[in-house]
Amino acid sequence: MKVAILMGSPNDASKMAPAAEMLDRFDVEHVTEVMSAHRTPAAVASFAAGARDAGFAAVICGAGMAAHLAGVVAAHTALPVIGVPLSGGLADGLDALLSTVQMPKGIPVATVAVNGSANAAVLVVEMLAVTDAELAARLDEFRAAGAR
């Protein structure tokens, strides 16, 4: 199984890089793409709708300001979606946090801290480790070493 890391803009790459680094640390395959809920909504919907068939187990979405990316992805897939609100905008990420966390009943988006892409990756690893004993052992080692 692999994980998709989506970001709304190429400018978000440095804030989303820790997710890829953390997934690499756990040897979890991942793909990183730039997709905008506002500029390329059809591409986002198509990707999300086909994510399970493409072999993805979860989707990490990072976006700032209105931060609709995670919500749009969650609307088109039943895979776990983890939203990473990104700093910038009017309230340096508070606006993105509120946009990401306020999802309607039945369409959840797990949400981590502003710029918390590393934790989004750890959350995905925890989900995958439920059915993967080797990954669970690596997660236990990570935790025993101080989770850093």
**Residue 21, CA distances (Å) to 17, 25, 27, 89 in order:** 6, 6, 10, 26
Find the CATH number of the domain harbouring 92. Answer: 3.40.50.1970
pTM above 0.85? yes
Task: Supply the pLDDT for residue 148.
Answer: 83
Phi-psi map region of 57: left, alpha, beta (phi>0 left; psi -120 to 50 alpha): alpha
**End-to-end CA separation in angstroms for the chain:** 24
Task: Supply the pLDDT for residue 70.
Answer: 97
* Percentage above 70 pLDDT, the chain: 100
pLDDT for 142 beyond 90: yes
pLDDT for 1 beyond 90: no
Average pLDDT over residues 40-59: 98
Q: Write down the mean pLDDT value for the chain.
A: 96
Task: Supply the pLDDT for residue 143.
Answer: 95
Task: Supply the pLDDT for residue 147.
Answer: 85
Rounded Cα gap, residues 16 and 88, in angstroms? 14
Domain coverage including residue 137: 2-144
Average pLDDT over residues 40-53: 98
pLDDT in tens, 117-134: 999 999 999 999 999 999
pLDDT in tens, 9-27: 999 999 999 999 999 999 9
pLDDT in tens, 63-112: 998 899 999 999 999 999 999 999 987 789 999 999 999 999 999 999 99
Task: Supply the pLDDT for residue 101.
Answer: 93
Question: How many structural domains compose the chain?
Answer: 1
Rounded Cα gap, residues 113 and 139, in angstroms? 20
